[in-house]
């Protein structure tokens, strides 16, 4: 069965703060409901904690380390799930139950099966 990454894009948020408890509870409820298909997933610290790494001039070139996320946009990648589903329809039906879908958007991407 294919696995899908459900990438959650929402306004930047610090899940670790106490005021996010209600939201974390909503995610908890989703996690319970979707336990049969969830193969992994994490919540990310806010984009202020991000460090972006580039190497200029090809492999072994000069590393360029910048403070901040890859793309400084209003909505950012704030978390993700890995969902193992029969097909895209099933993946989409789960994705629309992720709270991020109504706080922002959830991008569903198929994962390449390697090995």
Spell 68-104 as b/e; 16+ CB within 10 A means b: ebeeeeeebbbbbbebbbeeeebbeebbeebbbbebb
- The answer to the question of residue 86 lying near other proteins (CB under 8 A) is yes
- The answer to the question of residue 96 lying near other proteins (CB under 8 A) is no
Q: What's the CA gap between 102 and 91, in Å, rounded?
A: 16
- The answer to the question of residue 2 lying near other proteins (CB under 8 A) is yes
Size of the site for other proteins (CB under 8 A): 13
Q: In terms of CB distance, is 44 or 108 closer to other proteins? A: 108
Supply the minimum distance, in Å, between the C-beta of residue 82 and other proteins: 14
- The answer to the question of residue 89 lying near other proteins (CB under 8 A) is yes
- The answer to the question of residue 85 lying near other proteins (CB under 8 A) is yes
> Contacting other proteins (CB under 8 A), which of 13, 91, 95, 98?
91
Q: Is 8 exposed, middle or buried (0-12, 13-18, 19+ CB in 10 A)?
A: buried
């Amino acid at each position: 069965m294919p696995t899908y990454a459900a990438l959650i894009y929402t306004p930047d948020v610090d899940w670790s703060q106490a005021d996010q408890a209600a939201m974390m509870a909503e995610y908890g409820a989703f996690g319970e409901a979707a336990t049969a298909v969830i193969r992994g997933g994490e919540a990310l610290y806010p984009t202020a904690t991000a460090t972006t790494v580039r190497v200029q001039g090809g492999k072994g070139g000069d590393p360029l380390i910048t403070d901040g996320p890859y793309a400084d946009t209003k909505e950012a990648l704030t978390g993700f799930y890995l969902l193992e589903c029969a097909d895209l329809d099933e993946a989409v039906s789960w994705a629309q139950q992720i709270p991020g879908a109504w706080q922002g958007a959830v991008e569903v991407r198929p994962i390449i099966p390697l090995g």
